[in-house]
Amino acid sequence: MAEALIPTRCSALVIGGSAGSLDVLLEIFPLLETAINFPIILVTHRKSGNDSLLADLLQSRTGLKVKEAEEKEPVLAGYVYITPADYHLLIERNKTISLDYSEKINYSRPSIDVTFQSAAEVFKDGLVCILLSGSNADGVEGLKIVNNLGGLVVIQNPNTAIMPYMPQQAVNNVKRHIILDSFAMAEFINKLNR
């Protein structure tokens, strides 16, 4: 991994994923350092229903504090915020969370595009976004904006993704990006922590 690509600071990390991304998250989380000096926001497509399930699952594998994102709460370093099913998650100028029940984007709510874009507008070049496995093109438009506003784009290697379509769309359409295998992701995130 080229060290030069690691940004000098990371203000926030947003991870987006759809079908096939849970396996990657379960692989990454046990390897993360337990004191991380930026917030992590997760946006994954899933059925509405038992919201706390994913939070419990990830919490059992990390020392970071994992919680379902709540309306108007500030995003704090060292926390992992999970986007609730059936709501879009946006970041406000004062770095608090807004939930939004507007139209689905790319047939999805939450939409990864929505969170990537709104985080990019707030964190600009301090933002790092990771796009994982999935089978639609959600996230790609958001990553373009992340790119334009100076943030760093990381894409799971489509060859190692259970559903390669989503990361492949990002590779094809987002100009500046890094491609990582899932096993290299935890190390990459830990290196952002400095």
Partner 1 sequence: MISEAIDNEQVDALLSDVLEVHGYDFLEYSHASIKRRITRLYTLDNFVSFAEFRYAVKNDKQYFKRFLEEITVNVTEMFRDPGFYQSLRNDVLPVLGTYPFIRVWVAGCSTGEEAYSLAILLRELNLLQKSLIYATDINPSVLEKAKKGIFPLNYLKGYSENYVNSGGVKDFSSYYTANYSLAKFDESLSSKMIFSTHNLVSDHSFNEFQLILCRNVLIYFDKELQHKVFQLFDNSLEKLGYLALGSKESLDFWPGAKQFKRIKLEKIWRKL
- Contact residues for partner 1, defined by CB under 8 A: 70-72, 84, 87, 90-93, 98-103, 114, 117-118, 121-122, 145, 148-150
Closer to partner 1 by Cβ: residue 3 or 103: 103
- Is residue 19 a contact partner of residue 165, using CB atoms and an 8 Å limit? no
Active site residue 45: yes
Closer to partner 1 by Cβ: residue 65 or 104: 104
Judging by beta carbons within 10 Å of its beta carbon (0-12, 13-18, 19+), is residue 15 exposed, middle or buried?
Answer: buried
Q: Which amino acid is at 190?
A: N
Query: Active site residue: 18, 21, 108, 111, which one?
Result: 18
Identify the bridge partners of residue 169 per DSSP, sorted by sequence position. Answer: none
Minimum CB separation of residue 87 from partner 1 in Å reads 6
Active site residue 23: no
Closer to partner 1 by Cβ: residue 45 or 186: 45
Minimum CB separation of residue 126 from partner 1 in Å reads 13
Active site residue 138: yes
Q: Which amino acid is at 80?
A: V
Residue 155 CB partners (closer than 8 Å, separation 6+): 130, 131, 143, 167, 170, 171, 174, 177, 178, 179, 180
Catalytic residues: 18, 45, 138
